[in-house]
Chain A
Amino acid sequence: MSGIETVKIIVDAERQAAKMIDDAMAEAAAIRKQIDCLIHQQRQQMLAEAKKEAAAISSRAGEEGKLEAAKYEMESAQGLQSLVARASSRKDATVDKLVTMMMLVE
């Protein structure tokens, strides 16, 4: 092998090496670019799921609150009914007591 041929082989190898590195750099750039896109998609997906869950929670809360309020009002109505009945049965005695107070001049 002549000297010229040897140099040619080495120059060719250097060129291949440079191309390998260029290709690697291009691939690295593509990987970096791809991840931005992936993160964006991931963000959209996770936030969409969270918003869906949030909407379900809000919707349930309104219904649960109304149910709880209705239950409370029903129980209170029963309590009020017995309170009114009890007070009504004490009306006559109370009137007597208050009239006595009116009559009592100290």
Chain B
Amino acid sequence: MSETDKFTEDILQSAREKAENIIREARTETQRASDEAKVTISREAEGIVRNARADAEAVRRREVSEARHRTKLREQQEKDKIMQDVLDRVKKRTAQIVGDEAKYIPLLIRLIEKGLQELGEKSALIHLNKLDLKRIPTSLEGEIGRSVGHIKVEWSKEPIDATGGAVISNLDGKIRIVNTLDQRFEALEPKLLIEARASLFGE
């Protein structure tokens, strides 16, 4: 090989190496870019799936939560129905007691005595409903007198509108203790509800 041939071969060899380098660098660079892009895209794709899973979990929870809410509501409605029925029956039974003098008169006496004690006056006016006005005062005078003898008791001629029980007032009517059965039911209702709930549902 001549010197010239050797020289030109060196030039071409050097150019070949440079060209290979240029292409190799481009390939390496693109491979790196491709790898990096894969990582980024994978992360993006995982994010989409992860969000879908989170949304799905939220959907599932919402369905179950709504079902729980509906169930709770139904349960509450059923309980309320039972409680209302019990309270209605208690009210009815209490009203029936008014017709049973053996049970009612002692109750009325206790209600009047309690009212007199709460009133704390030396004289008092007792108000009854129409039925009780007819049947009770004369028979009650002795009973009331026995326990609260120091209080002068008068019976109002005006009947009150109540199922039973009494309203006890001072003589000018400014202070009134309402011990009617209706008021008693109303006052006791929170306690009755607690007791009923415990007895019926063990709550």
Contacts and interface: CB of A to CB of B under 8 A. Distances in A.
Interface of A: 1, 6, 9-10, 12-14, 16-18, 20-21, 23-25, 27-29, 31-32, 34-35, 38-39, 42-43, 46-47, 49-51, 53-55, 57-58, 60-62, 64-66, 68-70, 72-73, 76-77, 80, 83-84, 87-88, 90-91, 93-95, 97-99, 101-103, 105-106
A72 B67 contact: yes
**Interface of chain A, main secondary structure:** helix
Interface stretch (B121-129, B137-145, B187-195): B187-195
B53 A57 contact: yes
B19 A24 contact: yes
Nearest to B71: A76
B185 interface: yes
Given A39-B34, A57-B56, A70 B67 contact: yes
Contacts of B161: none
Nearest to B19: A24
B23 interface: yes
Interface string B99-132: 0000100010011001000000000000000000
Contacts of B158: none
Interface in B1-47: 2, 4, 7-8, 11-12, 14-16, 18-20, 22-23, 25-27, 29-30, 33-34, 37-38, 41-42, 44-46
B134 to A, nearest CB: 23
A66 B108 CA distance: 59
B19 A23 contact: yes
A88 B159 CA distance: 39
B59 A61 contact: yes
Nearest to A87: B200
A102 B185 contact: yes
Contacts of A14: 11
B15 A103 contact: no
Given A35-B34, A87-B200, A1 B2 contact: yes
Contacts of A46: 41-42, 44-45
A67 to B, nearest CB: 9
Contact of A31 (B27, B41, B46, B86): B27
Interface in B64-105: 64, 66-68, 70-71, 74-75, 78-79, 82, 85-87, 89-90, 93-94, 97, 103
Nearest to A1: B4
A69 B107 contact: no
A77 B77 CA distance: 13
Given A50-B48, A54-B51, 11 more contacts: A1-B2, A12-B8, A13-B8, A31-B26, A39-B41, A61-B59, A68-B64, A76-B71, A87-B201, A102-B181, A102-B185
